[in-house]
Structures are given as structure tokens and as C-alpha cells.
Structure 1
Amino acid sequence: MNILDIITLKEVYKKSNKELLEYTETDTSPTLFKEEFEENKRKIVQSLDKIKDLGIITYWDEEYPDLLKNINDPPVILYYFGDPTLLKNKTVSIVGTRKATDYGKSICIEIAKTLSRYTVVSGMAYGIDSIAQRNAKKTIAVLGNGVDIIYPKSNESLYNKIKEEGLIISEYFPGTRATKYTFPYRNRIIAALSEKTIVIEAAKKSGSLITARYALDYGREVLAVPGDITRLNSYGTNYLIYSGATPIISLQHLKELFGITNLEQESSSENPEEMEVKEKILKLINEGKNNLDSLCETLKEDVSTILSTIMQLEIDGKLSQENGTYFTIN
């Protein structure tokens, strides 16, 4: 069977990944009316031809990642936009709540930047997923809908950025709309593509915990950021730690867990733009604009960028805060 036969059997005749693998391994195929099958195949070709720059990887291609191949339900087809060589990179998934707190946002940014030599895998969902992917050096977005559909629509700029600089993949045929079932099923791919999975803020019933469960089933390490026990978004991560996940207790600890040396981090982290934002923040605080609202209003920067910079200044020992008021340390 060729690639179009496989796609037709999957999309029109609803054959499972397992069945398609069995057909190819045994060199058999289901009994179908040939004329009907060929007509359905022509319709598949017509649909695919409408999508510019679409790529397709099958289970049997060299580009298909070994990490994904070795699970119990690997997708036989991956549709993609972008750079498929990222599938062979060192990978880590970063997932979490859609309703991230300022704490979760700033921690997510710092983790993504600290792991700059890894390709970050996530689901491009609103919240932690998209924050991680906006701040990753390289990233793979695994969608719960067709690769040609931007969801959520508010992430259009992120989608276009990843399409241009990273990789967007989906096992769903182009044009497929998301449902409440496609996202949890998609999460197995996020977990399978990653050497480790990091969870940052997750409620008791969170899709991120499904990803973590898949990761554990695949024998991968799960790490979690501890949270305030009074917050609903901390229950999931704290429960993961209680159940045996590795807690991330500091950024230095994170570097140790991933074998990152300080020298290596320094060489890949700060750029002139980041240094300029740091200098502006310190200057404004000294001038009396010493809370988050006034800093955001003056700098006109994204709040996540400002929070990330403030956190780094605190780590560097140049800044401290008390009750929401920042002050510099000489």
C-alpha cells in the first residue's frame, strides 16, 4: 500500500492505527470495492492539493521519530508545516493550565529560556502551553485538530511564528475540527515525543495530567513545579509530586536535572534586547515606578516579558520585592 491508500483507509474507512500497521506488516488489505476506493482516494488527493506547503510523514519514513514509534498506539500519519528535522532533536514537553497565574507565567518563561538547547513540545493551547512556545528557542506544536486550523484563534501570531521557525504537526486530516476527545488523544503524542515532561500549574482535572500520565506510561520522567496549596491550579502539580514526580525547586535545580552548566547557559541566554529591558526596569524602579502596573504602562511590553525580566533580576540579586512593591539592591 502507498501513502494515499493508507490515508484513504484511515480517513474514509476509519481504520485504526493498529489495523493499518497490521495491513502493512502482513502485506494485506481489507476487501473493498475497487472503483469506490479509487474514487475516495481521488477526493483525498483533491483535498490535500488545496493546502500549500503541507508535508506528510508516515510511520515508515526515516523522518519519523523513534520516541513516537515505540509507543503502543503510534500515529501512522503525521501532517506538518515547518521543519521536520526538529523531530530528531533533544525534546522536552512543557504543559500546564490555560488559566496561568503571574507566578506560573514567569516560571514558565524562565524554564523555557533555561532549556534553550532543547526543542519544546506543547499543544499551543492558551496559557502555559503558548507561553512556553513563545519563549522557546525551537518548538513543536502538536495540534488536536487539522494542522491547517488555528486553534485557539487568539494564537494566530504564535501559529504563524511556529510554522515559519519551528514545526506544527497533527495526526488529524487537514480541516478536522477539534472536539473534547481529540485533545486528550493528542496528548499521547506530546508525551511520546518528549524525553521529559514538565507540568507548570494544573488543576485537579487537567489535560496536563493526562499528558503526564502518558509520559509515565511510556517510562519518561515527569517533573512538576510546586505551587501554593491554597490555589486550585496547584493541586495537579502538587499531587504529581506527592505521587513521585520530580519537583523543580529552583532554576539551578532545573539546570542540574538537565545537565546544563552555568557557562553553557550564559552563552545562550542574554541578548542585547534583554539587557536593555533589565536596565529600563531598574531605572524606572529607582524613579518610583516600582509596581507591575506602572512598569507595564510605561514600558509597553508584554506582561510576561516584564515578569520574566523581574524574576531574573531577583535571581541575580539586583532586585527584591515586598507586598508588590519592587526596590533595587545595591
Structure 2
Amino acid sequence: MNKEEYLAYLSYINNGKWHQIYNDLKSQITCQKTKYADFCSDQAIKNKSYITIFDSDYPLYCNNVWNPPFVLYYYGNKQLLKHKIIMITGNISISNIIEVKDSIENFSKEYVFCNEAWKGLDIQLIDYLISKNKNIIIILACGIEYAKNSLPKKWFDYSNLLFISEYPSNYHTSKITLKARNRISAAISNYLVLLSCYKSTMNNLIDQFLNIGKDVYCLDDIQNNLNEDNFNKNLINEGAGKITSITDLILK
């Protein structure tokens, strides 16, 4: 077993939990026969659908975050990681969604849109991006096989989409994993675009971007600002970049 496979084994038996992987790696624990057999039978392992921190194609920008993921499991078009990546998200419905969709059409194939597939606006955005043949990366808070039970099948059939997770195939979502994935979103994206923000629910995601010196932009819209639950205006007042259209970012 080489060091890459050993690290994938540690990720598998510890369900992707960073500190447990770290402790086992530090202790150089011995592989257990039964657990190793289960590990080898996992489809992602059979297909080598993962990248470890020891691999030459591990995304170097992931090293910039606190506790860089030891293993990234993936499904889809891995080449998308080489493009310019914009994280675009929101968790309140917005009145100018048509204008946002029109703006998205102006982005060329060199751009990739990163998202975490929250219910509501995010799902709507991803469906639209697929309909317009845009490039997409989705960062999961669970294993990829687990996600197949809840996300649309057409997403997994779409050729210009990449799923990324630091959790083995069937691991479930938790409060911890929902926060932990934010550092991966920040690592791979050039900057964050918030279409809307329900109160302070995006604080952890915003902090992950700011912690590694990346810009945060908020969509500023008069009608959307009338919604007191939308904190975009507050974030702009606190120093976030203000944009009136996401096409403002094409040249950044």
C-alpha cells in the first residue's frame, strides 16, 4: 500500500473526519484486514475517484486553508478545477432573478460556477446553469453516493459538472460537515458572490473567504434590500464589495 492509498484508507475508516485522520496518520496505525476489505470494495476507491494531499494533482490552493482536506473525493469533470471559479450563492428568493440569469449568460466557458446546493435559490441556479450548458462545481457536505439519494439524477449525468466532497461515499450530512465544506468552497473559488443572505447565516462561509484574503461581493438591489431578512445591505456597509450585476465581475 502506497502513502496515497493509506491516506484514503484513513479517510474511509474515519468518515473523512479531519482530526481523526490526522491522529491516525501521526500514529501510523496498522490496517485492519476487515476494514481494508470494505475499503477496497468501495466504488470510489476501485475507480480511484479521489485525490489525496500527497498526489501531484491535489489542488494547491487547498493548502491555503486551515486543516486542508487530506482526501477529496470527486465525481464528474475534474478538469473544471483548472478554470476560473466563482462561488455564487444565496438563501433568500430575490426579485431580480431574471436579471441574474441573463447576466450568467455573459460568462464564457473559461468560468466555472461553484455552489453548495442549498434548497431554494441555489437549486434554482444550478438547474438554470445546466440548462445554459455552464460549468459547475458542487461542494458536498456528505459522501457522493449519499448525495445521489437527494439530488436530481440529471445533475450526475451532466458532463460539465464536478462534485467534490471530503467524505467517503455514503457518509451523511451533519452540522459539522455543513460548516467544514465552506473552507473547500473558499479554497477553490476566486471570490464569493452573495445574491442574498438570510440574516447572519452565511457568516462562516464569508469568514472562510476572508481568512485566506479573498473578496466577498454582495448583489445590491433596491427591491431586495426592502426585505429586512436580507443582510446583503448590512454586509456592504461592513465592507463587502457592492455589485449591481454579476457581470461586473467578468474582468476581475
Q: Scaled by the length of structure 2, what TM-score is found?
A: 0.83
Q: Is the 8 Å Cα contact of residues 203 and 232 (structure 1) preserved in structure 2? A: no
Q: Which residue of 2 aligns with 1:234?
A: 230
Matching residue of 2:102? 110
Say if 2:87 and 2:113, in contact at 8 Å, map to a contact too.
Answer: yes
Asked whether the 8 Å contact 1:108–1:132 carries over to 2, the reply is: no
Q: Which runs of 5+ in 1 are unaligned?
A: 261-330
State whether residues 112 and 132 of structure 1, in contact with CA within 8 Å, keep that contact through their aligned partners in structure 2: no
Is 2:166 the counterpart of 1:175?
no
Q: Within the alignment, does 1:41 sit opposite 2:42 as a pair?
A: no
Question: Hey, what does 1:299 align to over in structure 2?
Answer: none
State the SS of the aligned residue for 2:34.
Answer: helix
Per-residue deviation, residues 195-236 of structure 1 (Å, max 9, x unmatched): 011001111132x3322221111101111112433314422x
SS, match of residue 148 in structure 1: helix
Q: Which structure would you say has the larger RCO, counting Cα contacts within 8 Å and 6 or more residues apart?
A: 2
Superposed counterparts of 1:1-330, under 5 Å? 1-13=2-14, 17=18, 29-30=26-27, 32=29, 34=30, 37-46=32-41, 48-49=42-43, 55-97=49-91, 99-103=92-96, 105-116=97-108, 117-136=110-129, 137-150=134-147, 153=150, 155-162=151-158, 164-206=159-201, 208-227=202-221, 228-235=224-231, 237-249=232-244, 251=245, 254-259=246-251
Please give the secondary structure, in 1, of the residue aligned with 2:175.
coil
AA partner of residue 241 (structure 1): I
Which one has the largest radius of gyration? 1
Q: Tell me how far apart the structure 2 counterparts of residues 188 and 107 of structure 1 sit (CA, whole Å).
A: 29
Whichever structure has more helix as a proportion of its residues is 1
Distance verdict in 2 for CA 1:55–1:15, change over 3 Å: closer
Residue by residue, what CA displacement relative to the aligned partner does 1:25-59 show, whole Å, maximum 9, x if unpaired? xxx75154x4x62332222112x138886611111
Q: In structure 1, how many angstroms separate the alpha carbons of the residues matched to 2:33 and 2:181?
A: 30
1:275 corresponds to:
none
221-230 vs 181-190, greater mean Cα deviation: 221-230
Q: Which amino acid aligns with 1:159?
A: W
Distance verdict in 2 for CA 1:13–1:248, change over 3 Å: closer
Relative distance call for 1:39 and 1:205 in structure 2 (3 A) is: same
Name the CA distance, whole Å, in 2 between partners of 1:205 and 1:258: 27
Following the alignment from structure 2 to structure 1, what is the Cα–Cα distance between the partners of residues 28 and 58? 29
Percent identity, please.
22
What's the secondary structure of 2:169's corresponding residue?
coil
Gapped regions of structure 2 (runs ≥ 5): none
- Helix, strand or coil: the match of 1:182? helix
Decide whether aligned partners of structure 1 residues 16 and 180 sit closer, same or farther in structure 2, where only a CA change above 3 A counts.
closer
Q: How many residues align?
A: 244
Secondary structure of the corresponding residue to residue 174 of structure 1: coil
Checking the alignment, whether the CA contact within 8 Å between 1:57 and 1:77 is kept in structure 2 is yes
CA distance in 2, matches of 1:138, 1:15: 27
Distance 1:51 1:57 in 2: 10
Q: Is the 8 A contact 1:142 1:190 kept in 2?
A: yes
Q: State the AA in 1 paired with 2:156.
A: N
Amino acid at match of 1:124: A
